[in-house]
Amino acid sequence: MDSFRDKLIPVTSILAGVVVLWYVFAVILNTPFQRDLDRRAGETHTLSEFIGKTLAQPKPTLPAPHQVAVNFFENTFLRPVTSNRSLVYNAWVTLSSTLLGFAFGTALGIIIAVGIVHVATLDRSLMPWIIASQTIPILAVAPMIIVVLAAVGITGLVPKAMISTYLSFFPVTVGMVKGLRSPEIMHLDLMHTYNASGAQTFWKLRVPASVPFLFTSMKVAVAASLVGAIVGELPTGAVAGIGAKLLAGAYYSQSIDIWSALVAGSVVAALLVMVVGIAGRIVDRAMGGRPA
Amino acid sequence: MTGTSPAVVAASKLGLTFQTNDGPVQALSNVDLTIGKGEFVSFIGPSGCGKTTLLRVIADLEKPTSGTISVNGMTAEQAREKRAYGYVFQAAALFPWRTIERNVGLPLEIMGLSKAEQVDRIKRTLDLVNLRGFEKKYPWQLSGGMQQRASIARALAFDADLLLMDEPFGALDEIVRDHLNEQLLELWGRTNKTICFVTHSIPEAVYLSTRIVVMSPRPGRVSDIIESTLPKQRPLDIRETPEFLAIAARVRDGLRAGHSYDD
């Protein structure tokens, strides 16, 4: 709890600073359009009236924080969750493909890592390709995955999840390769003195030693999965999901909608990372971890 | 070698050369040594004398490049496959995610003993090292000395007749070390195991051993073997007796002789 209190003041100060800056930029960026409007209407305003108006435009260049907050609140709490305008509904659509892709990605990442650690050929042949795979812009790959999978009759959740998988397997692979190789020489020697089989060394030493690495990489992977799911919604003409909300907002210049969808995405990301972190802590405690 | 008991460890013309980036390093050269059943043999020498390497060769953790080594009448590899020895490392090397009892049970699990047999042996060996009541604790909850005792229990759990110990108390303070030395002697007396013990402490070597193998570096070799004349029963204050001091002086001389051409 002390660490929570230690962080509270710095974090809130930064937040307050960001909000103030945000308001300043909202006024600056919305000024040209507001001036244009006023000129056409032939109105003149005092400075405070003018600032008030720049912060209350229906389609501002940069929405003010309170506009986003109101929009977010309305679309999250005041709409039925079955409405396609509800952020809860859209977040759920994105979350479901995020979780599916994350599950695939984690499983794939672990399998590849096990292969790399145990087969010398894979270590040399696979690793460069895995690194190369992450240098390809996902935005270019996403439509191809969607189109190719649609051609073989796979549509809906799975194609989006594949993009999440593509982004999330990488951190898990890297983390698990490191984790499975983390046992000290002494521990490996010890297993050798017992004449332990490869499988015994794997299950009794390498796997438990890799668990902290797994959870650290899963935190990165789950956030990457969410990005993948949102990106996956952009080129697919998806009708629901945070990505679809972002795209629709961009089409109709609903900048407030875009920002509130962004906030929804951030909240989901924070929650996912937190859940993985808590799961990691529970597992660590169950494995005799020293309380921090 | 004591009496006519069969050799537990027999090394003949044993040599080991490591290939390093700076060229070959002769870690062991021409080591002839026979260790009989029930002996307590210490290996002492400055760092780089190959004492740990010799222990690792006996354990089949390193392969010799020349000469022969037999353990219990078999090759070192066969002996390891038969789990002929328990090995205690410089650090306790307990698995942090296992409780003390599950750490001690690790070799038993690997050997595929029945659950009941495991429980029985864990209890017995934890009693042997006076760790009863700490079964459910995790390693970090124990002091360094207790952790090392748990690792000795782990090496004893599967009842190998040979115990190989590589500076097991090197990282502990002197008071704890004295205490553990006493307990180790008592344990050796009770179990009649053969113990090979690497150390760099002269008092520790003299206090514990029936024989002291003095080694010297570059190349690592045996420079002297000293038979202890101390009785099997050794209270801690035996270290003040003239007999003890005489043996210690011989060991010191042996170490100095091995070093004379150096620095």
| A and B: number of Cβ contacts within 8 A | 54
Q: State the complex-level ipTM.
A: 0.90
pLDDT at residue A237 in the model: 66
Q: How far apart are CA A212 and CA A235, in angstroms?
A: 36
Of B63, B72, B65, B80, the residue nearest B34 (C-alpha): B72
pLDDT tens-digit profile of B62-80? 999 999 999 998 999 999 9
Look at residue B2 in the predicted model and tell me its pLDDT: 44
Instruction: Give residue for tokens 């924080």.
Output: A65
Please report the pLDDT score of residue A140 as a whole number: 82
Q: Does the distance separating the beta carbons of A186 and B87 come in below 8 Å?
A: no
Residues A222 and A127 in one domain: yes
Q: Sorting pLDDT into bands at 50, 70 and 90, what band is A2? A: low
Same domain, A41 and A184: no
Selected residues 29-58 of chain A with any CB under 8 Å from a CB in chain B:
none
pLDDT at B259: 64
pLDDT at A43 over 90: no
CA A131 to mean position of chain CA atoms: 20
Confidence bin at A134 (pLDDT 50/70/90): confident
Model pLDDT, residue B117: 94
* Shared-domain flag, residues A43 and A108: no
CA distance A274 to A280: 10
What is d(CA A85, CA A75) in angstroms, rounded to the nearest whole number?
7
pLDDT of residue A291: 77
pLDDT surpasses 70 at B53? yes
Say which residue the tokens 């101390």 belong to. Answer: B230
Number of structural domains, chain A? 2
Provide the CATH number for the domain around residue A234: 1.10.3720.10
Asked if A195 lies within 8 A of B81 by C-beta distance, the reply is: yes
Does position A170 have pLDDT exceeding 50, yes or no?
yes
Average pLDDT of every residue of chain A:
90
Shortest distance between the Cα of A281 and any Cα of chain B, in A, equals: 13
Q: Regarding the domain delimited by B7-84+160-259, which CATH topology (the fold level of the hierarchy) does it fall under?
A: Rossmann fold (3.40.50)
Domain of A35, in residue numbers: 2-61
Please, are residues B189 and B195 in contact by the beta-carbon 8 Å criterion? Answer: no
pLDDT band at B3 (very low <50, low <70, confident <90, very high): very low
pLDDT in tens, A212-271: 999 999 999 999 999 999 988 887 666 788 988 888 888 888 899 999 999 999 999 999
pLDDT band with cut points at 50, 70 and 90 for residue B263 = very low
Burial of A270 (0-12, 13-18, 19+ CB in 10 A): exposed
Question: Do A173 and A231 have their domain in common?
Answer: yes
The pLDDT of residue A146 is: 81
Domain coordinates of chain B in residue numbers? 7-84+160-259
Residues on chain A touching B159 (C-beta within 8 angstroms):
none
Residue A78 lies in a domain: no
* Best of B110, B134, B158 to mutate (most A CBs within 10 Å, chain A): B110
Alpha-carbon distance B81 to B60, whole Å?
Answer: 9
Give residue A120's pLDDT: 86
Query: Residue B1 above 50 pLDDT?
Result: no
Q: Percent of chain B beyond pLDDT 90?
A: 67
What single letter denotes the amino acid at residue B129? V
- The DSSP-derived string for chain B is --TTPPEEEEEEEEEEEEEETTEEEEEEEEEEEEEETT-EEEEE-STTSSHHHHHHHHTTSS--SEEEEEETTEEHHHHHHTT-EEEE-SS----TTS-HHHHHHHHHHHHT--HHHHHHHHHHHHHHTT-TT-TT--GGGS-HHHHHHHHHHHHHTT--SEEEEESTTTTS-HHHHHHHHHHHHHHHHHH--EEEEEES-HHHHHHH-SEEEEEETTTTEEEEEEE--S-S---GGGGGSHHHHHHHHHHHHHHHHHHTT--
* Confidence at residue A1, expressed as pLDDT on a 0 to 100 scale: 53
Q: Clarify whether residues A30 and A92 are in a common domain.
A: no
Same structural domain, A209 and A91: yes
Q: Do residues A107 and A191 share a domain?
A: yes
The distance of A214 to chain B (nearest Cα, Å) reads: 15
> A184 — contact with chain B (CB < 8 Å)?
yes
Q: Do A189 and B89 touch (CB under 8 A)?
A: yes
Tell me whether residue A226 is in a domain: yes
Is residue B220 within 8 Å of residue B55, measured between CB atoms? no
Tokens of A171: 């951190």
Are both A126 and A45 inside the same structural domain? Answer: no
Q: Is A163 a member of any domain?
A: yes
Of A193, A205, A290, which has the smallest distance from its Cβ to B80's Cβ? Answer: A193
Same domain membership, residue A92 and residue A46? no
Same domain, A119 and A8: no
Q: Are residues A149 and A233 in the same domain?
A: yes
Q: Which residues of B touch A199 (CB under 8 A)?
A: none
The secondary element (H helix, E strand) that includes residue A106 is: helix A87-118
**Residues in chain A within 8 Å Cβ distance of B86:** 193
pLDDT tens digits along A80-110: 888 888 899 989 989 999 999 999 999 999 9
